Amino acid sequence: MASPMLKFYNGQQIPVLGLGTWKSKPGEVKYAVEIALDVGYRHLDCAHVYGNEKEVGEGIGKKIKSGVVTRSDIFVTSKLWNTFHRPDLVENACRTSLTNLGLEYLDLYLMHWPFAYKEEGELFPSVEGKIQFSDVDYLDTWKAMEKLVDTGLVRSIGISNFNSSQIARLLKSARIKPVTNQVECHPYLNQTRLAKVCSDNGILVTAYSPLGSPDRPWAKPGDPQLLDEPKLKSICEKYKKSPAQILIRYQIDRGIIVIPKSVNKDRITQNFQVFDFKLSAADIAEIDSFDCNGRLLLMTGASGHQYHPFEKDDY
Ligand code: A2P
């Protein structure tokens, strides 16, 4: 069964379920992309900073060559990294992702974070362990991203990790509205308030870390594991689905795009088997009640940046 599509305000369609590639090692991700395309995924979520776009591109290229998919069958997202926010760097950053992915256009290009890092050096420029910031305003970066739509390098543009005030500020000056805000979203941080702001403005939400990212590099033994959440058990039994499948379906049933990451054939396959059931409103409400403001990705490296999205009293 193919993934259902959601429609952006601009008419472009996106498969509601995509393959996440954050933390997928270069040596594993080509295979993961090939499996995913064989299984029926048509949406791949990528980023320059993941350091694996070349291998993602090899997987895509192989499946286009063998006739499994055509370019227009698939939806590919990439993201502008923080060191390329200065407007004169944006087009080249986009072209680098295109070259790595072996594509002529992106379906979607996101600003990965609202804050910028010192330009042009390392991806995490640091001095004595402290990340070096840049004060480029995301409104200026956005203007340069709008030009990528004009020139046809990308079909749509969006944002990631923006809080509600930053969205409001962006909307005041944007010529082209973002189609989506990609944020951490799972039952421990269900983002209901932010999702309402987005939907009131015609912006779809994309959920990253929908399974609670058990492979996040900073996970500590004893941290709560969303996939092992005891309260999910009875819901899994009721629908005869795994915790991952329930967590994925939870987002789909809330109208949220979802991008679970896996590099394992069985799990990539399992995560796509979510179109033969639907959660009841009562079960969605039950899962909603797990929320505990449980943000996993705090981006403390950028602590103190004026555009850090999680440090002010905002959502
Ligand atoms: P793996 O890549 O070995 O399958 P998130 O998308 O929230 O970042 O979570 C990704 C993590 O969840 C990875 O560690 C991934 O491991 C694991 N994972 C992906 N799918 C499943 C699944 N169906 N069951 C259990 N763990 C999964």
What is the rounded distance in angstroms from the CA atom of residue 38 to the CA atom of residue 67? 11
138 in active site: no
- What value does the mean pLDDT of the chain take? 97
User: Which whole number is the average pLDDT over 50-71?
Assistant: 98
Asked whether residue 125 carries a pLDDT value surpassing 90, the answer given is yes
Substitution candidate for ligand 1 out of 45, 183, 209, 211 with most atoms within 8 A of CB? 211
Instruction: Return the pLDDT at 120.
Output: 81
What is the whole-number distance in angstroms between the Cα of residue 261 and the centre of ligand 1? 6
- Which residue's alpha carbon is at the smallest distance from atom 21 of ligand 1? 267
CB 207 within 8 A of CB 186: yes
Domain boundaries, the chain: 5-302
Of 66, 81, 74, 71, the residue nearest 22 (C-alpha):
81
What is the whole-number distance in angstroms between the Cα of residue 39 and the centre of ligand 1? 17
Task: State whether the beta carbon of 244 lies less than 6 angstroms from ligand 1.
Answer: yes
pLDDT digits (tens, 9 = 90+) for 186-219: 999 999 999 999 999 999 999 999 999 999 999 9
pLDDT digits (tens, 9 = 90+) for 219-250: 999 998 999 999 999 999 999 999 999 999 99
pLDDT digits (tens, 9 = 90+) for 256-313: 999 999 999 999 999 999 999 999 999 999 999 999 999 999 999 999 999 999 998 8
H or E segment to which residue 147 belongs:
helix 138-151
Task: State whether the beta carbon of 20 lies less than 6 angstroms from ligand 1.
Answer: yes
- Which residue's alpha carbon is at the smallest distance from atom 24 of ligand 1? 244
Q: Report CA Rg, the chain.
A: 19
What atom in ligand 1 is closest to the CA of residue 186? 7
What is the whole-number distance in angstroms between the Cα of residue 168 and the centre of ligand 1? 33
- Which residue's alpha carbon is at the smallest distance from atom 17 of ligand 1? 262
Identify any residues that bridge with 45 across adjacent strands, giving them in sequence order: 20, 77
What is the rounded distance in angstroms from the CA atom of residue 149 to the CA atom of residue 128? 39
The domain over range 5-302 is classified in CATH as 3.20.20.100: yes
CB 219 within 8 A of CB 5: no
CA distances (Å), 135 to each of 82, 83, 111, 174, in order?
A: 11, 11, 15, 19
Instruction: Return the pLDDT at 314.
Output: 87
